Amino acid sequence: MNGMHFTISKSFGRLQLTPEPTGLKLWYVPNINGELATESAGACEVSIPIQAVGGIWATARAFLYGVESLDENVIIRDDNGDVLIKLYRDKPKGAQGALTGEEISWLRIVSGRTEEERRRIKLGPRDLLCIELACNAVLTMSCSPLYGDLIKSAASGKPKSQVVHDESVLSRFE
Protein backbone atom coordinates (compact mmCIF):
# COMPACT_ATOMS: atom_id res chain seq x y z
CA MET A 1 0.00 0.00 0.00
CA ASN A 2 1.33 3.43 -0.92
CA GLY A 3 0.96 6.32 1.46
CA MET A 4 0.57 6.73 5.18
CA HIS A 5 -1.45 4.28 7.24
CA PHE A 6 -1.81 3.23 10.86
CA THR A 7 -2.34 -0.36 11.99
CA ILE A 8 -4.13 -1.70 15.04
CA SER A 9 -3.29 -5.40 15.34
CA LYS A 10 -5.05 -7.77 17.70
CA SER A 11 -4.99 -11.56 18.00
CA PHE A 12 -8.36 -11.79 16.22
CA GLY A 13 -7.70 -9.33 13.39
CA ARG A 14 -6.05 -6.22 12.01
CA LEU A 15 -7.52 -2.78 11.43
CA GLN A 16 -5.72 -0.50 9.00
CA LEU A 17 -6.50 3.24 9.07
CA THR A 18 -5.60 5.11 5.90
CA PRO A 19 -5.94 8.91 5.92
CA GLU A 20 -7.14 10.43 2.66
CA PRO A 21 -7.92 14.09 1.88
CA THR A 22 -11.64 13.28 1.63
CA GLY A 23 -11.95 11.00 4.66
CA LEU A 24 -10.60 8.04 6.59
CA LYS A 25 -10.53 4.54 5.14
CA LEU A 26 -10.86 1.62 7.56
CA TRP A 27 -9.86 -1.84 6.39
CA TYR A 28 -10.53 -4.68 8.82
CA VAL A 29 -9.18 -8.20 8.18
CA PRO A 30 -9.97 -11.02 10.64
CA ASN A 31 -7.28 -13.42 11.82
CA ILE A 32 -8.50 -16.99 11.35
CA ASN A 33 -6.27 -19.80 12.62
CA GLY A 34 -3.26 -17.48 12.74
CA GLU A 35 -3.69 -16.18 9.17
CA LEU A 36 -5.15 -12.90 7.95
CA ALA A 37 -8.25 -13.83 5.94
CA THR A 38 -8.87 -11.01 3.47
CA GLU A 39 -11.66 -12.96 1.72
CA SER A 40 -13.55 -14.06 4.85
CA ALA A 41 -17.04 -12.86 5.78
CA GLY A 42 -15.67 -10.56 8.50
CA ALA A 43 -13.31 -8.59 6.25
CA CYS A 44 -14.58 -5.12 5.40
CA GLU A 45 -13.51 -1.80 3.97
CA VAL A 46 -15.32 1.36 5.03
CA SER A 47 -14.71 4.96 4.01
CA ILE A 48 -15.63 7.53 6.64
CA PRO A 49 -16.43 10.83 4.90
CA ILE A 50 -14.60 13.91 6.11
CA GLN A 51 -17.79 15.28 7.70
CA ALA A 52 -17.52 12.59 10.41
CA VAL A 53 -13.76 12.58 10.95
CA GLY A 54 -13.69 15.58 13.31
CA GLY A 55 -16.07 13.91 15.77
CA ILE A 56 -14.07 10.69 15.79
CA TRP A 57 -10.85 12.70 16.25
CA ALA A 58 -12.27 14.63 19.22
CA THR A 59 -13.68 11.53 20.89
CA ALA A 60 -10.48 9.50 20.46
CA ARG A 61 -8.51 12.41 21.88
CA ALA A 62 -10.85 12.75 24.88
CA PHE A 63 -10.66 9.01 25.58
CA LEU A 64 -6.87 9.06 25.21
CA TYR A 65 -6.50 11.85 27.75
CA GLY A 66 -9.17 10.48 30.11
CA VAL A 67 -11.59 13.40 29.98
CA GLU A 68 -15.37 13.38 29.82
CA SER A 69 -16.84 12.69 26.39
CA LEU A 70 -19.91 11.18 24.86
CA ASP A 71 -19.63 8.20 22.54
CA GLU A 72 -19.23 8.86 18.84
CA ASN A 73 -21.73 7.11 16.54
CA VAL A 74 -21.31 7.43 12.79
CA ILE A 75 -23.72 5.74 10.41
CA ILE A 76 -22.45 5.52 6.88
CA ARG A 77 -24.74 4.75 3.97
CA ASP A 78 -23.25 3.51 0.71
CA ASP A 79 -24.06 1.08 -2.09
CA ASN A 80 -23.53 -1.88 0.27
CA GLY A 81 -26.01 -0.63 2.90
CA ASP A 82 -25.59 1.02 6.29
CA VAL A 83 -22.49 0.63 8.47
CA LEU A 84 -22.18 1.76 12.09
CA ILE A 85 -18.84 3.01 13.36
CA LYS A 86 -19.04 3.45 17.13
CA LEU A 87 -16.23 4.74 19.34
CA TYR A 88 -17.28 4.31 22.95
CA ARG A 89 -16.00 3.73 26.46
CA ASP A 90 -17.25 1.61 29.36
CA LYS A 91 -19.53 3.34 31.84
CA PRO A 92 -17.58 5.39 34.41
CA LYS A 93 -16.58 3.30 37.42
CA GLY A 94 -16.10 6.13 39.91
CA ALA A 95 -18.41 7.59 42.52
CA GLN A 96 -21.34 9.52 41.05
CA GLY A 97 -20.34 8.58 37.50
CA ALA A 98 -16.81 10.00 37.63
CA LEU A 99 -14.07 8.58 35.42
CA THR A 100 -11.45 6.53 37.24
CA GLY A 101 -9.09 5.80 34.35
CA GLU A 102 -10.01 2.10 34.47
CA GLU A 103 -12.67 2.41 31.78
CA ILE A 104 -11.96 0.53 28.56
CA SER A 105 -12.42 2.13 25.13
CA TRP A 106 -13.91 0.18 22.23
CA LEU A 107 -14.39 0.53 18.49
CA ARG A 108 -17.33 -1.26 16.88
CA ILE A 109 -17.79 -1.70 13.15
CA VAL A 110 -21.21 -3.16 12.37
CA SER A 111 -22.12 -3.89 8.78
CA GLY A 112 -24.80 -6.55 9.26
CA ARG A 113 -26.55 -8.94 11.61
CA THR A 114 -24.18 -11.92 11.56
CA GLU A 115 -21.47 -12.27 14.18
CA GLU A 116 -18.75 -11.83 11.52
CA GLU A 117 -20.31 -8.49 10.55
CA ARG A 118 -20.24 -7.20 14.15
CA ARG A 119 -16.62 -6.40 14.94
CA ARG A 120 -15.66 -5.11 18.40
CA ILE A 121 -12.09 -4.02 19.06
CA LYS A 122 -10.74 -3.25 22.53
CA LEU A 123 -8.56 -0.14 22.32
CA GLY A 124 -5.50 0.62 24.40
CA PRO A 125 -3.72 3.98 24.55
CA ARG A 126 -1.58 3.18 21.49
CA ASP A 127 -4.70 2.25 19.49
CA LEU A 128 -6.47 5.48 20.49
CA LEU A 129 -3.36 7.39 19.49
CA CYS A 130 -3.42 5.70 16.06
CA ILE A 131 -7.06 6.76 15.57
CA GLU A 132 -6.34 10.30 16.75
CA LEU A 133 -3.29 10.65 14.49
CA ALA A 134 -5.06 9.15 11.46
CA CYS A 135 -7.97 11.59 11.89
CA ASN A 136 -5.56 14.48 12.39
CA ALA A 137 -3.79 13.51 9.15
CA VAL A 138 -7.13 13.56 7.28
CA LEU A 139 -7.94 17.01 8.64
CA THR A 140 -4.46 18.29 7.72
CA MET A 141 -4.59 16.80 4.22
CA SER A 142 -8.06 18.22 3.59
CA CYS A 143 -6.73 21.75 4.17
CA SER A 144 -3.64 21.30 2.00
CA PRO A 145 -3.49 23.06 -1.37
CA LEU A 146 -1.76 19.91 -2.68
CA TYR A 147 -5.09 18.07 -2.56
CA GLY A 148 -7.37 20.98 -3.56
CA ASP A 149 -8.24 19.55 -6.98
CA LEU A 150 -8.94 16.10 -5.56
CA ILE A 151 -11.25 17.51 -2.89
CA LYS A 152 -13.10 19.69 -5.43
CA SER A 153 -13.64 16.76 -7.81
CA ALA A 154 -14.87 14.56 -4.95
CA ALA A 155 -17.28 17.29 -3.84
CA SER A 156 -18.68 17.80 -7.34
CA GLY A 157 -19.54 14.13 -7.97
CA LYS A 158 -21.92 11.75 -6.24
CA PRO A 159 -20.34 10.72 -2.90
CA LYS A 160 -19.37 7.06 -2.54
CA SER A 161 -20.68 7.10 1.01
CA GLN A 162 -22.53 9.58 3.18
CA VAL A 163 -23.09 10.12 6.87
CA VAL A 164 -26.65 9.47 8.01
CA HIS A 165 -27.86 11.93 10.64
CA ASP A 166 -31.05 10.09 11.59
CA GLU A 167 -30.54 8.74 15.13
CA SER A 168 -33.48 6.33 14.73
CA VAL A 169 -31.28 4.25 12.39
CA LEU A 170 -29.09 3.35 15.42
CA SER A 171 -31.69 0.92 16.75
CA ARG A 172 -31.12 -1.38 13.74
CA PHE A 173 -27.56 -2.02 14.94
CA GLU A 174 -28.41 -3.13 18.47
What mean pLDDT is reported for the chain?
88
Q: What integer is the mean pLDDT of 127-151?
A: 86
Q: By three-state DSSP, how is residue 111 classified?
A: coil
How far is the C-alpha of 174 from the C-alpha of 157, rounded, in Å? 33
Q: Look at 153 and 53; give whichever has higher pLDDT.
A: 53
6-165 maps to CATH 2.60.120.1440: no
- Residue 108 confidence (pLDDT): 96
Length reported for the chain:
174
Lowest mean pLDDT among 41-50, 97-106, 158-167: 158-167
Q: For 109-133, what is each residue's pLDDT tens digit?
A: 999 889 989 999 999 999 999 999 9
Helical spans, DSSP H, in the chain? 50-65, 125-142, 148-156
How does residue 156 score in pLDDT terms, banded at 50, 70 and 90? low
Q: Look at 101 and 162; give whichever has higher pLDDT.
A: 101
Provide the pairing of β-strand 81-89 with 72-78: antiparallel
| Domains of the chain, residue spans | 6-165
DSSP lists the bridge partners of residue 86 as: 73, 108
Q: Look at 51 and 168; give whichever has higher pLDDT.
A: 51
**DSSP structural state of residue 90:** P
Q: For 34-81, what is each residue's pLDDT tens digit?
A: 999 999 988 999 999 999 999 999 999 999 999 999 999 999 987 778
